[in-house]
Amino acid sequence: MAIFFETPVWLIDYYYVIGAFSLVLNLITIYLLTYHSDQMDNFRYFLLVYQVICMITDIIFHFLMQPVPLFPIVAGYCVGVLATTFNIYAHHLIVIHTSWQVIESMWLIICFIKKHQALAHVIMRHVLSRSILVLLAVMMASVLTFYSVSFTLAGMDRDKQMDYVKERFPEYVYEFSRLPNFAIYEINLVSKVDIIVAFLGNSFGVFLYFFTSFDMFRCLNQVQNKVSTASFKRYQSAVYSLLAQFITSLLCIAPPLFFDVLLIVGMKEGSGICVQLIGAFYSSHSAVNSIVLIATTPPFRKLFMPNSLSLPASLKNDITTCHGKALFVISPFFQKTKKKQMSLLFFFCVLLPSNSFSSSKFPMINFFETTTWLIDCYFVIGVLSLLLNIVTIYLLINHSDKMDNFRFYLLTYQLICMVSDFNFHFLIQPVPLFPIVAGYCVGMLATTFNVNTHYLVVVLSTSQAIQAMWLIVCFVRKHQALAVVIRKHVAPKSILMLGFIKFVSILLVWTVTLTLSGMNREKQMDYVRVNYPQHINDFSHLPNFAIYEFNTFIKIDLTVASYGGLFGVIIFFITTFDMFRILNQVKKKVSTVSYKCYQSALYSLLAQFAASLLCVAPPLCLVFMVMTGAEDSSGHLVQMLGGLYSSHSTVNGLVLIATTPSFRRCFCRKKIKNQLPASNNSSC
């Protein structure tokens, strides 16, 4: 493994730039919370404390600490003021920063609890007693204290550090001896305790977040009739702002998780620069958080764009409002407006809540006119996906001789992706009518052949399930290919056949129950009359649509989907972790070329699995929105989720080409030709 001990100048420069930017944004946000948040009552003080914590954490990280990792060794050094001028031990700086990061996460959870209790007091439901709140605070403080103490004890002094380096990394003794101040870690008892405490603390925090979030949305639906419209909007915008900030806080969580994955899989080649990029990505979270807070808080937003939402009178007929959120109805104006103007208006009027318009209370708004941009997106991405799938299939047939019969598994997967994409982008083209769990299709099968929309949804979801199932089959196939080499964890054919039958059974039950959950035209209209009488005229003009109620078949379908998804995830994690263990053992039993072939195939599968999350994330977001009862701007949001979902095959094709060396050579022959070994005849 190659480790670069020279200080990366670009990373330090980035720390200074993003640090200065974050500091300015944090000061602006603190100013706004102090002087322009009268409508927030005492909740603004909780946000103010949170923003001050963010600013302190940023100053420590960007100016006083400035960590430089030495991955794949779990080590690093600091070049900030505290390390270079005051010679503070690098390990103690890491403890200080991580402790402040934990405080930041904990205080965000406290903000959620505070807002939850403010809503709970209005409806007099789920009000927690002071003793419970004090107990929660004590538990958080205990976790923080225990974590900080155990992490502090996990460090080593200079002599022990050098002894550890001489024993484990003798080739780098000279480089480490030249570092005046560094930290290096081994997995000892204290480290294990620290990891367990961190895991328990995170689990506790996530539980509190989900509990308060779901209950706040339920409280919002009940509090609407008990407070004024202005108060309701204030509660609503505060909840949305907190949720947006929580999502932003994932910028703190994702990099450490990715770092842990790199440690587990033992990735070495190129991992140093990868971890540096992760650190740069992590350092941007506070700046993003400040932007999110300003963008999602109406009083703050008005200071930066007081006149940006003042529209000409000619446009007011094209605008409808719902709970103070401005939404554009599809109108001839969009066809005449220039692209830049339309994008700007769409951003301000659809994505950002507006209080500049007069609001009229509607329970929800749906767009029954076909959304032109979404259909155009389907066609563009569909053509791009089709071309990429054809190119990938060609490469798998003509440029994958070294993959033995595993290429046929990938070929089958790519064919399934292409068929699924063709169905989605050209034959089906779904248009959602959220927040109603309904939609219609404008593809060829719906308009020309008049196929029931519900059956098209069944076909689409089934093909997607087959795609996910076959990707898991590819993981199992590659795992068994490695297992045969070391003659360990080789599954008998009966077990493999049983697992395959289980997958097929889950797929069949899923398809049948989803098919039975549909309603005919008469039942659909009756359901609309009872539940959505204000939209009966709109639905009656749709020749072909599907609408769903939470009946027994849907419950069975969701249960089967959850079970199948959990079963697939378990198989994925078991095969993946075991494959990385096997790779370490198989390295000494095969040639270097064969080992690299196995390794690249595994990395390619992992990358494709990550790309497949584009299939999973939009449906999960949709389920979350249904459960929370989100309505404002949700129609556009779901359409954008559909656009994001439709891009997954394109991303998958690019990932497969980028992570397969033999495919990459077809696009960059000259660059890679000189790097290849003379003999390349081994197979994997």
Contact (CB, 8 A) for 55 and 30: yes
Does residue 336 sit in the same domain as residue 380?
no
Count of domains for the chain: 3
Q: pLDDT (tens digit, 9 = 90+) per residue, 455-499?
A: 999 998 898 889 889 988 988 988 888 888 888 888 888 888 988
pLDDT at 381: 82
Better-predicted residue by pLDDT, 214 or 32? 32
Q: pLDDT (tens digit, 9 = 90+) per residue, 179-229?
A: 988 999 887 888 878 878 887 888 888 888 888 887 887 787 787 777 787
User: Which 8-state DSSP code applies to residue 183?
Assistant: E
Which alpha helices (H) appear in 433-492, and where do they start and end?
444-447, 453-486
177: Cβ–Cβ under 8 A, 6 or more apart, which residues? 162
Confidence check: pLDDT of 172 > 80: yes
pLDDT at 91: 92
Identify the band that residue 618 occupies on the pLDDT scale cut at 50, 70 and 90: low
Confidence check: pLDDT of 579 > 70: yes
Identify the band that residue 613 occupies on the pLDDT scale cut at 50, 70 and 90: low
pLDDT at 264: 53
pLDDT at 402: 65
The answer as to whether 237 is a domain residue is yes
pLDDT at 380: 82
Residue labelled with tokens 């399934």: 416
Largest CA distance in the chain: 81
Does residue 322 sit in the same domain as residue 284?
no
pLDDT at 360: 34
Identify the band that residue 627 occupies on the pLDDT scale cut at 50, 70 and 90: low
Better-predicted residue by pLDDT, 684 or 246? 246
User: Which 8-state DSSP code applies to residue 359?
Assistant: P
Contacts 24+ apart (CB under 8 A), 404-408: 404/481, 404/683, 404/684, 406/474, 406/477, 406/478, 406/481, 406/601, 406/684
Does residue 59 sit in the same domain as residue 122?
yes
pTM of the model: 0.51
Q: Is 676 exposed, middle or buried (0-12, 13-18, 19+ CB in 10 A)?
A: exposed
Confidence check: pLDDT of 504 > 80: yes
Q: What average pLDDT is seen over the chain?
A: 77
- 184: domain range? 9-302
Confidence check: pLDDT of 358 > 90: no
Which whole-number Å values give the CA distances from 397 to 402, 410, 474, 683, in the listed order? Answer: 11, 10, 17, 16
pLDDT at 576: 80
pLDDT at 80: 92
Contact (CB, 8 A) for 104 and 94: no
Better-predicted residue by pLDDT, 478 or 340? 478
138: Cβ–Cβ under 8 A, 6 or more apart, which residues? none
Q: If you average pLDDT over residues 330-355, what whole number do you get? A: 36
Identify the band that residue 63 occupies on the pLDDT scale cut at 50, 70 and 90: very high
pLDDT at 622: 59
The answer as to whether 297 is a domain residue is yes
Confidence check: pLDDT of 35 > 90: no
- Residue 591: CB atoms within 10 A of its CB come to 12
Instruction: Fill in the amino acid letter for 324.
Output: G
Q: pLDDT (tens digit, 9 = 90+) per residue, 65-86?
A: 999 888 778 889 999 999 999 9
- Residue 624: CB atoms within 10 A of its CB come to 13
Does residue 549 sit in the same domain as residue 606?
yes
290-304, 435-449, 580-594 — most confident range:
435-449
Helix, strand, coil content of the chain in percent (nearest 5): 75, 5, 20
- Angle at CA of residue 443, ends 439 and 447, nearest 5°: 90
3-state secondary structure 160-182: HHHHHHHHHCHHHHHHHHHCCCE
Does residue 533 sit in the same domain as residue 555?
yes
Confidence check: pLDDT of 280 > 50: yes
Residue labelled with tokens 């898991």: 472
Spell 29-47 as b/e; 16+ CB within 10 A means b: bbebbeeebebbeebbebb
pLDDT at 621: 61
Lowest mean pLDDT among 237-246, 341-350, 601-610, 633-642: 341-350
Identify the band that residue 90 occupies on the pLDDT scale cut at 50, 70 and 90: very high
Identify the band that residue 93 occupies on the pLDDT scale cut at 50, 70 and 90: very high
pLDDT at 336: 38
Q: What is the DSSP secondary-structure string of 645-674?
A: HTTHHHHHHHHHHHH-HHHHHHH-HHHHHT
The answer as to whether 682 is a domain residue is no
Does residue 291 sit in the same domain as residue 316?
no
List phi, psi (to 5°) of 48. -65, -45
pLDDT at 454: 93
Strands 325-328 and 430-432: unpaired
Q: pLDDT (tens digit, 9 = 90+) per residue, 522-550?
A: 999 999 999 889 888 888 888 889 999 88
User: What is the token pair recorded at 4?
Assistant: 């670069």
CA dihedral over 225, 230, 233, 235, signed as positive or negative: negative
225: Cβ–Cβ under 8 A, 6 or more apart, which residues? none
User: What is the token pair recorded at 247?
Assistant: 């999502």
Does residue 297 sit in the same domain as residue 324?
no
Confidence check: pLDDT of 453 > 50: yes
The answer as to whether 366 is a domain residue is no
The answer as to whether 266 is a domain residue is yes
pLDDT at 257: 62
Lowest mean pLDDT among 81-95, 434-448, 567-581: 567-581
Better-predicted residue by pLDDT, 436 or 277? 436
CA distance 26 to 13: 20
The answer as to whether 130 is a domain residue is yes
Identify the band that residue 272 occupies on the pLDDT scale cut at 50, 70 and 90: low
Does residue 330 sit in the same domain as residue 399?
no
Does residue 505 sit in the same domain as residue 430?
yes
Confidence check: pLDDT of 674 > 50: no
Q: What CATH number is attached to the domain comprising 561?
A: 1.20.1070.10
The answer as to whether 59 is a domain residue is yes
pLDDT > 70: percent of the chain: 76
Does residue 62 sit in the same domain as residue 194?
yes
The answer as to whether 105 is a domain residue is yes
Tell how many helices (H) and how many strands (E) occur in the chain: 28, 8
Better-predicted residue by pLDDT, 402 or 626? 402
Confidence check: pLDDT of 327 > 70: no
pLDDT at 387: 87
Confidence check: pLDDT of 64 > 90: yes
> How far does Cα 621 stand from its chain's mean position?
10
User: What is the token pair recorded at 169?
Assistant: 């990394």
Does residue 405 sit in the same domain as residue 280?
no
List phi, psi (to 5°) of 322. -140, 110
Better-predicted residue by pLDDT, 458 or 601? 458
500: Cβ–Cβ under 8 A, 6 or more apart, which residues? 473
Does residue 204 sit in the same domain as residue 326?
no
Residue at a domain's end among 302, 334, 353: 302
Q: pLDDT (tens digit, 9 = 90+) per residue, 420-440?
A: 889 988 998 888 887 788 889
Residue labelled with tokens 């990550």: 610
